[in-house]
Amino acid sequence: MPQEWLIPATKGLGLRLTKGQVVRVTDVDGMQVADFAAFSDRDYTERLDPGVTMDVLGQMYVRPGDQLYSNKYQPLLCIVADTVGRHDFINSACRPEMYEVLYGKSPHASCYQNLNAALAPYHIPAPDQHYPFNLFMNTVIHPDGRITVEKPLSKAGDYTELRAETDLIIAISACPCSESKCNNYDCTPIKVEIR
């Protein structure tokens, strides 16, 4: 029987995934980013690494059948299903300093804090920064080299399913940025299911 959680808008969740389990992350209301971090349950120095994943795959966008790799070039997850097809590997997790610099706001909730809080019960130390798989985030690289974050393409009920290729600790943040197109200026919940 599937387990299910609803991450409130601007909050986070940490979970243990065993090898072979599938996690479905659903954008409940549409256009909401979910920062997704993963660590090996056997070695917390091994984590999901977007840069390594792009290096191995030779592409920025993933599709069903693609694996996501760790900083040690080991497969941690596999995309099983995806109803959106546009996610982000480039941007680091938002953090309080970002809101100060870009929006003049302090203090401000952040994915960095949410992920740290979600991982703390598993005794995973807070890294200097999180480089997550940003589900539903629509980052556009323009021909002139500019990078912009546009409204997510995800609609209400869209989801991505990932299968654990090894035992993992995962953390998911319902991104708290309402100051930009990142979440279409409105933060909403994220649903998580383990199947």
Instruction: Check residue 185 and give its pLDDT.
Output: 97
Instruction: Check residue 122 and give its pLDDT.
Output: 97
Whole-number average pLDDT of the chain: 97
Residue-wise pLDDT tens digits, 10-58: 999 999 999 999 999 999 999 999 999 999 999 999 999 999 999 999 9
* Run of H or E including 69: strand 67-69
85 conformational bin, left if phi > 0, alpha if psi -120 to 50, beta if neither: left
Q: Which amino acid is at 133?
A: F
Instruction: Check residue 75 and give its pLDDT.
Output: 98
Average of per-residue pLDDT across 47-75 = 97
CA distance 83 to 72: 29
Cα 64 to the center of its chain, rounded Å: 16
* Run of H or E including 161: strand 159-164
Instruction: Check residue 1 and give its pLDDT.
Output: 73
Residue-wise pLDDT tens digits, 89-144: 999 999 999 999 999 998 999 999 999 999 999 999 999 999 999 999 999 999 99
Report the predicted TM-score, pTM, of the whole model to 2 decimal places: 0.97
CA distance 110 to 155: 23
Average of per-residue pLDDT across 144-156 = 97
Residue 8 pLDDT > 90, yes or no? yes
Question: Quick one: which of 3, 92, 85, 22 has its CA closest to 50?
Answer: 92
Specify burial of residue 151 (Cβ count, 10 A radius: 0-12, 13-18, 19+): middle
Average of per-residue pLDDT across 152-163 = 98
Token representation of residue 192: 């998580």
CA distance 77 to 67: 6
Instruction: Check residue 2 and give its pLDDT.
Output: 78
* Residue listed under structure tokens 């986070």: 12
